[in-house]
Structures are given as C-alpha cells and as structure tokens.
Chain A
Amino acid sequence: MENQFDLLNNTKGFGFDNFDPTLVQEESVILLTLVIDISPSVSSYATEMNKAFEGFLEEMQKSHVASKLMVKVIEFNENVKHVTGFTPITNMVPSNFHFRPTGNFTALFEAAKEGLTATVNYQELLEKTGINVKCLVFVMTDGEENTFTTKSSEIKEMLDTIMKSEKNIFNFETILLGVGNENYYEPAQKEMGFKHLATFNNSANEIRKMIGFISQSVSRSSANKPVNF
C-alpha cells in the first residue's frame, strides 16, 4: 500500500534549486518571493539596499516566523536570473546577497511573470504534500518596462486565474515596491493587476523603510492578518 495516493510521484521535479518539499517540517509555510530590479538606474540606492537586505535576512532568521519562512530571490535587468530557489530562510547566508547594478534595460514584466510562475508551482507542490501555504510576491523596481518580451496582460491573466481560486483569496498577496518617480512603475502595477503598490524615495531612510515593510508583511501574514500600509 506504499504511496497509494500517488503523492511522491507528484513531488518529483520540484526544481533543482527549491527545497525538497518532503523535508518541510512545518504544517504551514510562507513563501516569500522577492523580484529585484538591478538595472543601472538602481545605482543611486543599491548600496543602501544591499545593506538593508542583509539586515532583513539576519532579522528574519531570528524572528518567530523563521521556521515557516521560505524565500526565493530573483534579480532582473534585461535578463531574469533566479538567484535562489525557495529556501528556508534559516539556510540562507545573508552576506551572500549582493545586488550589483548591471545591464541596460528593465524586463519588469518577464521578471514578474517568472516570479509568479515559480511561486504558484512551488505552492501547488507543497499543498499536494500536505503543507498549507501563504504567498507574498514582492517586485521591487524604480523603472518602467522597456524590453517588452512579456506583455503585462499575460501577468494580469495569470493573476486573475490565481485569485479566482478560493484558497488564494486571503493567502496570495502581490505587492509592487516602487522607488522614485511613480509615473514609471504605477502604470505597470495596474496593468499587471498587482494588488498593492507601496512607494518610496531613494533616500537611505526610505530604502530601509521599504525593506522593513517586507518584514512587517511577513509578520502580518504569519498572524493571518492582511498586508496593509
């Protein structure tokens, strides 16, 4: 009677970089997807962001939600790079993360799409193996889409489908964190159908506030409270 519900077959191919779902030790987890713009325009606040991000990881590793938090990091300019798969935050090395402004363009839509796809795929995999999941997808950018490899409507459609599922109504949050002039990214947030927009200027204080907002959202999510501003 081994594997009579055919579950383990379904966990095969969970992704080389993602944490093996069968080894998850918590009944409920939070998937935190961070999609981070590293195009050259972020140079003005990259140093502060790196510092704040390292501090964020260190802080979350000590928090009461650490055992439930799995993080995936994606960075993008004109290319999209999956820096990590979904990894328990306790297994991450904060000093390993260093976002360096490079490239020429901003593939915002493609990065958002890949972030959402990776999140939904891993969410489904975890749920199939008996884990309850909450998802927080943050896209951090200061600019507008200018590669047009992916249409915003594709993301909107994808999000509409995700949010139609009853389980996701209170468990799947999408937040665009915008830095600087909101005329660049606010239209993208609306076109993609991201639920929230939080705006910050590029001062050191505001960048710290932005990263602090992510940890607040994680804490609220773990307490079954909605993300708010």
Chain B
Amino acid sequence: MENIFSISKISNEHANHCEDSHFTLNYENYFIGCVLDGCSTGVDSHFASMLIGKLLKKELKFCIDLLDKIYTYDLPTDDFIKNFINQVLITTATQLRLVTHQLNLEENELLSTIVLAVYIKPFEKLFIKIIGDGGYLINQQDYLMIHPKNNMPEYLAYHLVGDHSISNFINNIEVTKFENVSEFSIFTDGLEQIKGPESSENIIDYLLKNKDFSQSKIMLQRKFNILTKNHHKCNDDVSIIRYF
C-alpha cells in the first residue's frame, strides 16, 4: 500500500501567509509531487508559489493523460520522461508569462522555486527537477539540499522575457533520474531551518525517515505539532512531500 503525506507549514517569522506551497497528483502508474518556495524578499510570495503551482498542476493534469496512453503500449524511455518534464515546465512558464501580462505583475511578484518529482510506479523510477533550490531524500539514504550561491536562487521568473530564454533556461537544468526507488521525499529549504533541542539531523530523520503515525493521513502535521510541543521552531516556511 502506498502512503502519501504532504504539508506546507508556516514559519514563526510569518504572521499571515505561508510562502511555500505544494501539490500532489496520484495516478495508477504515476505519482507527481511538487513543492514550491516563494521568495521571502519578493512581493506577495505566497501568491507567486501558489500561482506557479496551480499553473503547473493544470498543465500536468492535462499531459498525464497523454503519458498514460503512451504507457499503455510501451514503457516511456528515460529521455521521453525528461523531455516531458521539460516541456511541461516550458508550457507552464509560457502560461505564467501570459498571466503576468493579464494581471500586470512585476518580476518580484513571481519569485518561487520549484522542486518537481515524477515517479513511475511499476518501474520504481523517479525523476526530479529542481529550479532554484530545495532538496530530496531517496530510499532513506541519498539526501541532497541545493543551496544556491549567496542564497540567491535562479528563479524561473527571471527568464520569462522570450521563448528562447524560457526553453534555454529550463532545458539547461538537469532532470535527475533514480532507479529502484521505493520511497522518497521532496522538500523546500525551510526543512533545514527547523531549530530546537534536537539536532538538524535528528529532526530531518524524524520528518523524512521515521514512520510513526503513518496510519494517520496527517502524519506530517502531527510530527510538526510534536516538534513544536518539544520547543522546536520553524524559522522558515517549509513544504514537504513524502511517498512510501
């Protein structure tokens, strides 16, 4: 039985809005998860992460039908999936540019990172693309958190000026493939900003490896409540998706 848990948790530093967001899409053969981190120094960054998330989700929903049809006849190749991810992101960015004009938005109202994961269940293959920053943990072993230079992520919004710029930017970011994946997590960089009596390593293990409360659909919410009760604080908003 598969278990899917997700949360977007507002930090102690923010009063009104969580600037991180997430979504999941679960199909028979595919699971898609995405976490987005609105830039704290941007304007209305909760809106940026939500808007990009909604556009991306819409595009993925539309395209997943196509992917499912192709899968009926043959296994998609790795290159096909990588290309699929890039094309979905390019279309999303084009849509974002359109909405930007319609709403007369400024660049600093569109700043959000993206971590997108596409999991092919029958073949236990996982593809991850990170735009800006964020991280993943695969099979409880391979942990990676991308820290951009000078904490200045390369946001998608910086590249909306022309079609060429969008596709160049997206195609140049690697889609990482993992095989034999039975469980994984993706998360925003706020994960490493949870501070308290326990070490960061223990906190990350507790949230991403420990399976207490997995019978409860609110496993991550309960874990955060327990951390809070035990004097831990989120110093940044954080989004997490766990699949096992």
Given A1-B202, A22-B216, CB of A130 within 8 Å of CB of B210: no
Nearest CB in chain B to that of A8: its residue = B212
Asked if A169 lies at the interface with its beta carbon under 8 angstroms from chain B, I say no
Could you say which residues of chain B place their CB within 8 Å of the CB of A4?
202, 205-206, 210
* A4 → chain B closest CB, angstroms: 6
Could you say which residues of chain A place their CB within 8 Å of the CB of B229?
127-128, 130
Given A7-B226, A130-B225, A130-B226, CB of A25 within 8 Å of CB of B218: yes
Nearest CB in chain A to that of B228: its residue = A130
User: In the complex, A98 Cα to B213 Cα: how many Å?
Assistant: 35
Could you say which residues of chain A place their CB within 8 Å of the CB of B212?
2-3, 7-8, 22
A3–B210 touching, CB < 8 Å: yes
* A194 → chain B closest CB, angstroms: 28
Could you say which residues of chain A place their CB within 8 Å of the CB of B205?
1, 4
B224–A130 touching, CB < 8 Å: yes
B218 contact from A2, A5, A27, Cβ within 8 A: A27
User: In the complex, A2 Cα to B51 Cα: how many Å?
Assistant: 37
B215–A130 touching, CB < 8 Å: no
Asked if A23 lies at the interface with its beta carbon under 8 angstroms from chain B, I say yes
A26–B218 touching, CB < 8 Å: yes
Could you say which residues of chain A place their CB within 8 Å of the CB of B147?
none
Could you say which residues of chain A place their CB within 8 Å of the CB of B29?
none
B211–A2 touching, CB < 8 Å: yes
User: In the complex, A132 Cα to B209 Cα: how many Å?
Assistant: 23
Could you say which residues of chain A place their CB within 8 Å of the CB of B225?
27, 130-132
Asked if B231 lies at the interface with its beta carbon under 8 angstroms from chain A, I say no
A1–B215 touching, CB < 8 Å: no
A23 contact from B206, B215, B223, Cβ within 8 A: B215
Could you say which residues of chain B place their CB within 8 Å of the CB of A3?
210, 212
Asked if B139 lies at the interface with its beta carbon under 8 angstroms from chain A, I say no
Asked if B222 lies at the interface with its beta carbon under 8 angstroms from chain A, I say yes
Q: Write out, one digit per residue, whether chain A residues 1-45 have a CB within 8 A of any chain B CB (1) or not (0).
A: 111110110000000000000111111000000000000000000
Given A2-B210, A7-B212, CB of A130 within 8 Å of CB of B221: yes
B226–A1 touching, CB < 8 Å: no
Asked if B230 lies at the interface with its beta carbon under 8 angstroms from chain A, I say yes
Interface centre among B198, B215, B230 (most CB of A within 10 A): B215
A129–B210 touching, CB < 8 Å: no
Nearest CB in chain A to that of B225: its residue = A130
* B226 → chain A closest CB, angstroms: 4
A22–B224 touching, CB < 8 Å: no
Nearest CB in chain A to that of B230: its residue = A5
* A12 → chain B closest CB, angstroms: 13
Asked if B61 lies at the interface with its beta carbon under 8 angstroms from chain A, I say no
User: In the complex, A26 Cα to B213 Cα: how many Å?
Assistant: 12
* B210 → chain A closest CB, angstroms: 6
Could you say which residues of chain B place their CB within 8 Å of the CB of A131?
222, 225
Asked if B58 lies at the interface with its beta carbon under 8 angstroms from chain A, I say no
Could you say which residues of chain A place their CB within 8 Å of the CB of B17?
none
Nearest CB in chain A to that of B206: its residue = A4
B226–A23 touching, CB < 8 Å: no
User: In the complex, A22 Cα to B215 Cα: how many Å?
Assistant: 7
Could you say which residues of chain B place their CB within 8 Å of the CB of A7?
212, 226
Closest 4 CB pairs of A and B: A130-B222, A130-B225, A1-B205, A130-B226
If A1-B210, A24-B216, A26-B218 are given as contacts, then 11 extra A-B residue pairs at C-beta distance below 8 Å, sorted by A number, are A2-B211, A3-B210, A4-B205, A4-B206, A5-B206, A5-B226, A7-B212, A7-B226, A22-B212, A129-B226, A130-B223
**A-B residue pairs in contact (CB < 8 Å), sample of 26:** A1-B206, A1-B209, A1-B210, A2-B210, A2-B211, A3-B210, A3-B212, A4-B205, A5-B206, A7-B212, A8-B212, A22-B212, A22-B213, A22-B215, A23-B215, A24-B216, A25-B216, A25-B217, A128-B229, A129-B226, A130-B222, A130-B223, A130-B224, A130-B225, A131-B222, A131-B225
